[in-house]
Structure 1
């Protein structure tokens, strides 16, 4: 284990070159309180270490960095999710990924020492605000997984029994604590234009994250109100109002606008200067060896589901179930015809570029079913530019988006629709801007086309909510939001009893020069790669939250297990 002082020094060196690190976490009580935190520069060095916990591409070394949303109803991997299949195991002990409080402890240690710094107060406030943002970020991840949590507002060691044996606080109190941290962060952080070129947390990032947290809890409490996962006496209204207001603050602030090219958002090396980017991670493989493995053996063992592809509207603004423009989905060469252009930016079809080498293009012809076994390979995140300075001959510097302006527009519209206060003006300043970017017709309240194939969430929604959810699914496809959306919407009926299907399998389709006799199909000849696993059997009585480890329950008698476990 590295001494935390070395971690901070390494973080400082890395911050100078605008790259990321993957460092071991260490006991925080090994550091002397007088060694750091005395100047704004030292606060910056310390808080930089938190940035490594933002969403990233796996650096696996073999090109298997899975698409975000993998394992949901939208993105399929080689094997389905145990959680969706109904295979559950209560963990024995906590780990770095199970009931882990390491990150919260690190944030608390930092926040307990920021008052030691002297110097430029604006800079001290910025880095302190980043500390509050990251504590909220860590707590929110724990809230999504476990619900009720003990609230720790300060650092403590294993001798402080008050904290070591703390009970769990109700999830709404935890949410209030997270939102309070974000309010503090908002009051301290600089606005995005006042930050340097390195992507740091800004006031607007904290506002957007506040909206994200409040939308999650508001819809969770609304749709779980009559279950063991709900909050007694709450329907989520207050949080939905907070979500709408926080998202509107980002919108009305005027700092960000939608980038004019949807596709280029996801296959770019370096996002500085992009008008839509609020927070992101850049990579530099050629110069620093800091990169991702998206391009080595693409499509990285993932593919989109048929349900995902059928969510995209036709160019007349109507769903495929009723639009006369729909030409079907049994031929990949025409599946994008008359469809929302975001579909073409998402999947590969014949004629798309796989590699561009000095003006010579290698074109995609058929799915590589060994990896994209659902047939719908991803165009999103694919950079086809050949780079002969890279041993793997593809760029490995594709940036990773953590927050973009489009999310603020979607949260605003959804929160207002859930509150049943949404107006045409609200749509015109949010979702209709997303549609206009890609040349799609906007939504007109009172004139929404009824879709006979609207998703079955297990309950009925208003027409506008169906369309808002569709828009969120399409705009944020494979960006890592889907599982949380399914959880907060209590949407198990959407996928329970089903297996995700892939593309239509044309007779005689050839990949790598041979026919595969082991291809699994459903009765209508659509790829059915999960057929041998059986239908999803999500246990709604417990699977909405994860189980606490058994050892933790034994060590702390004040902890209680989550419902159903």
Structure 2
């Protein structure tokens, strides 16, 4: 690299404050929105469109607005106490474009609302008939996630097509088994409302308990009824016998299996994205589509941004929420849900917290709706970070739990299948003395997670690699780099974060 190239690289490596980066992204997306067609030019929703750019803009704006709000007063935001960017001369006189961090928060939340509404007002939700097992795919909402061609679903804005001859995957096989050893947690399953809109613990909810998976699904939010697998359900309805790795009938969860392709880690597994077509179960040869963006997120983004900005829900946000609940076959009265919510009983949901404290019941139920609707769609980690939803784990360990293995469901298994014991290297399930619920991360005492999981504040952001500091330095040393490290991380490779 020439000296000239080096100087260009060093200058370009200066870190703008995060809100300025977010503003730049929004500006880029505004240009895209101006230039893009309203709908995908190929007619198949495999090219980006104005709706896609607007939805993505709402996601970026909501992320930054809520991040600035919940990390305000910390080193994780520009001009906050201990912000490492302040040590760089190019940031020493930085001023927020709106004059304050509160102004920036308001700006981003407003942008999130406007761009989300542009999508939600124009793209209706697909219908949910409530049907689970149907050879004719009579439930658009259910079938949408496992369709070969997703272009006919109005809610889908952008999707990736697969082809049996060109590019394939193995999701259909995983969905008919144990989800490749990725299970649903007890906390997630219990967060779903009853169909009458009440939390499971509320008086009059009608909750049937969790002695059996069938009980868990009774009278629940339609999304849990659709997507939580239950032993005895059919997994293949067409082209039966034409695959190689199909699971015709859903078995009792094989929590003891050491084969990760067949193991049910928590006992609870999801059928979201399943295909009932036996042809999709040729191992590694699945070709169902994959959703990249769907309009439902715009409904959720608007609701959340509206409440975060105004501390109330306008008529548009209320209408969006009722639409989502109606589609989920949950009573429309979200105010009844809010009134029945007891935050202390929602503590297994990290989304119930921000900065180590419970949020309001209204905000929590907005977050609950988001969790229920976007389950297993890859957005949860981003949400937890921007909500600052893991501070409580800094001092208090949490324990991941699955289904109630040590209740009546233990009779599904032979004693020799449920080997346990903290020091037994053959153990495959957790000791009932620890909990009647399966704890997949606490099977043996030599596991780092045996006493529960904790969190370090620094992990809200990842560390920047030392190599980048060296490249963005006139003399090649990390210490003299124009880049600054994220809070809690050092310039020494392989070191753990410090406390904040």
Q: Same fold (TM over 0.5)?
A: yes
Q: 2:401 aligns with which of 497, 501, 505?
A: 501
Alpha carbons of structure 1 residues 487 and 321: separation in structure 2 relative to 1, 3 Å: same
Partner of 1:250: 119
Q: State the Cα deviation string for residues 249-299 of structure 1 (Å, max 9, x = none).
A: 1123x24543444322212111011110011111112xx241112134532
**Per-residue deviation, 1:462:** 2.7
Partner of 2:96: none
1:379-458 to structure 2, matched below 5 A, reads: 379-387=271-279, 391-392=282-283, 396-420=286-310, 422-423=312-313, 425-445=315-335, 448-452=338-342, 453-455=345-347, 456-457=352-353, 458=356
**Per-residue deviation, 1:444:** 4.2
**Per-residue deviation, 1:216:** 0.2
The 2-side partners of 1:337 and 1:447 are apart by 18
Partner of 1:294: 171
Secondary structure of the structure 2 residue equivalent to 1:401: strand
**Per-residue deviation, 1:376:** 0.6
Partner of 1:544: 460
Structure 1, unaligned runs of 5 or more: 1-155
The 2-side partners of 1:454 and 1:357 are apart by 41
Partner of 2:26: 179
The 2-side partners of 1:247 and 1:188 are apart by 18
Structure 2, unaligned runs of 5 or more: 80-99, 129-139, 242-246, 258-262, 421-426, 473-480, 490-500
2:40–2:46 CA contact under 8 A, matched in 1: no
Alpha carbons of structure 1 residues 530 and 444: separation in structure 2 relative to 1, 3 Å: closer
2:198–2:337 CA contact under 8 A, matched in 1: no
Higher relative contact order (CA 8 A, sep 6+): 1
Q: 1:525 aligns with which of 436, 441, 446?
A: 436
2:229–2:250 CA contact under 8 A, matched in 1: yes
1:305-344 to structure 2, matched below 5 A, reads: 305-324=185-204, 325-344=206-225
1:21-40 to structure 2, matched below 5 A, reads: none
**Per-residue deviation, 1:553:** 1.3
1:256–1:276 CA contact under 8 A, matched in 2: yes
The TM-score, its normalising length taken from structure 2, stands at 0.75
Q: State the Cα deviation string for residues 514-551 of structure 1 (Å, max 9, x = none).
A: 444521145331100111323222111x1111111112
Alpha carbons of structure 1 residues 358 and 255: separation in structure 2 relative to 1, 3 Å: closer
Q: 2:151 aligns with which of 272, 275, 279?
A: 272
1:341-360 to structure 2, matched below 5 A, reads: 341-356=222-237, 358=239
Alpha carbons of structure 1 residues 182 and 348: separation in structure 2 relative to 1, 3 Å: same
Q: 1:466 aligns with which of 364, 384, 397?
A: 364
Alpha carbons of structure 1 residues 201 and 185: separation in structure 2 relative to 1, 3 Å: same
Q: State the Cα deviation string for residues 295-347 of structure 1 (Å, max 9, x = none).
A: 34532121111001001001110000114310111211221001001002222
The 1-side partners of 2:229 and 2:431 are apart by 21
Secondary structure of the structure 1 residue equivalent to 2:488: coil
The 1-side partners of 2:41 and 2:322 are apart by 29
Alpha carbons of structure 1 residues 391 and 472: separation in structure 2 relative to 1, 3 Å: closer
The 2-side partners of 1:445 and 1:410 are apart by 17
Alpha carbons of structure 1 residues 289 and 516: separation in structure 2 relative to 1, 3 Å: farther
2:197–2:334 CA contact under 8 A, matched in 1: no
1:195–1:202 CA contact under 8 A, matched in 2: no
